Amino acid sequence: MNRPYVLGEATWSGVRETEYSVAVLPWGATEAHNYHLPYGTDNVQAEQVAIRAAAQAWEQGARPVVLPTVPFGVNTTQLDIMLTLNLNPSTQAMILGDLVSALEQQGIRKLVVVNGHGGNDFRQMIRELQPLTEVFLSTINWWSCVDVRQFVEEPGDHAGEAETAAMLHLAPELVRPLKEAGPGKARQSRLTGVREGWAWAPRRWTQVTADTGIGNPAKATPEKGAAYVSAAVQRIAGYLVELHEISLDDLYA
C-alpha cells in the first residue's frame, strides 16, 4: 500500500521528492475506556481520522502529511486509575513547540493538530506559540467537528455510544463484546454552575464514574460509527484542502 501522506510509512526517497504543504499531528491519550474499549482508543481514532482525511485531501490535489501520533494526553485527574498516563499541559506545550520548530526549519508552514482526547486543549498553547513561529497553527477536535447527534442517540462523554460506535467501525478487533461494558453512569456535580455548564472544574474521575465510562455504549453499532467517522473525515479533508490552497498572507476575506 502506497500512502505517501503517512510519514510513518514513508521513506526518505519519497519524502524528498514530495512538496508537502500541511503537517497533520494526531494527538491522543492513554487512559481507561470502560470495560470494553482499549486504553489506546483516543490514539486509534485520532490517527485513523487524520489518515483518512489526508487520503481524501490528497485525492483532491492537496499534499498533507500525517505525523506519528502522540499517544499521551492530559489526564491529571485520572492518575488513581492504573496505567492511565499523564502529560501536563506545560509538557504538551514543550513537545508541540519542539515539533513546530522542526517543521519550520524544514519549510512546512502549516500545522493542524487533530485532537482525539477531551482532556487536551491546544488553544492556549497555540496562542502562546503562534507569535514565535511562522508556522500557521490550528487544531480540530475530530469528534465534535460534526454534530454527533445526527448519528447516535446517546452520544455520551467518554466510552459512550458515539466513541464505541466509532471504534466498532475503525478497529472492531479491539472492542470487547458490549455485554461486558459497564453502563457508563455518571454522578452529577453538586455545584450548580458546574452542573448547568456555566462554571467549570476538572472532574475527579473515580468519584464520577465506577466503570471509567461516561455514557451508555449499549446502542452503538458499526453502521453508526461509519456514518459518524465518514462525516468527520470529509469535513477535516475539506479543511486540509483549503489550508493547502490558501496563502498565509491572505487568510481573511
What confidence tens digit (pLDDT) does each residue in 202-250 have?
999 999 999 999 999 999 999 999 999 999 999 999 999 999 999 999 9
Mean pLDDT of 62-72: 98
* Fold observed for domain 7-245: Rossmann fold (3.40.50)
Q: Check residue 248 and give its pLDDT.
A: 96
- Average pLDDT over the chain, rounded to an integer: 97
Q: Check residue 213 and give its pLDDT.
A: 98
Q: Check residue 240 and give its pLDDT.
A: 98
Span 134-178, pLDDT tens digits: 999 999 999 999 999 999 999 999 999 999 999 999 999 999 999
Span 166-210, pLDDT tens digits: 999 999 999 999 999 999 999 999 999 999 999 999 999 999 999
Residue 75 has pLDDT above 90, yes or no: yes
Domain boundaries, the chain: 7-245
Span 97-145, pLDDT tens digits: 999 999 999 999 999 999 999 999 999 999 999 999 999 999 999 999 9
Percent of the chain with pLDDT over 90: 99
**Distance (Å, whole) CA 176 – CA 173:** 8
Q: Check residue 208 and give its pLDDT.
A: 97
- CB distance 80 to 204 below 8 Å: no
How large is the C-alpha radius of gyration of the chain? 19
Q: Check residue 1 and give its pLDDT.
A: 73
Which pTM does this prediction carry?
Answer: 0.96
